[in-house]
Amino acid sequence: MRHILVVEDEPLNAIVFRKVLERRGGYRITVTEQADELMQLVRSGAVDLVIMDVSLAHTRWEGRAVNGVELCRILKGDSRTARIPVLLATAHAMRGDAEMLLVQSGADHYVAKPILDHEEFVRQVRELLEKAA
């Protein structure tokens, strides 16, 4: 079973991601907002895909506050974790935001929150997983 790590600090969004991905996708889901846990799981090889919230209010890495864009750059800049697909998830859905965030972060894809079309969301996740396989 494919394992997806959801990095999200908003409990309601975390619940939606978990339910949609478990029920419609059949994936195993872990949710965290802690950078230490993110790095440990991803570096262990136990994660097939990361869904990364852009705005993380309480997340710290190496003693400083970080957001999802920074964490994604760290993942993509590390040879141990660079191959793992990252799907950015954010409520910042204005024209041009997706392209700007993808360039800044190095993420593989972008999805706007709230997730309204659950089937399309699961399809995007499945595509990212297939590309990485």
DSSP string, 34-73: -HHHHHHHHHTT--SEEEEES--TT-EETTEE--HHHHHH
33-75: pLDDT as tens digits: 999 999 999 999 999 999 999 999 899 999 999 999 999 999 9
Q: What pTM was computed for the model?
A: 0.95
Closest CA to 112 of 72, 65, 55: 55
pLDDT for position 99: 79
> What pLDDT band is residue 133 in, cutting at 50, 70 and 90?
confident
Q: Which domain holds residue 38?
A: 3-132
In whole angstroms, what is the distance from residue 85 CA to residue 83 CA?
6
In whole angstroms, what is the distance from residue 66 CA to residue 116 CA?
27
Per cent of the chain over pLDDT 70 is 98
Number of separate domains in the chain: 1
Residue 93 scores a pLDDT above 70: no
> What pLDDT band is residue 98 in, cutting at 50, 70 and 90?
confident
User: What CATH number does residue 103 fall under?
Assistant: 3.40.50.2300
Least confident window among 25-29, 95-99, 114-118 = 95-99
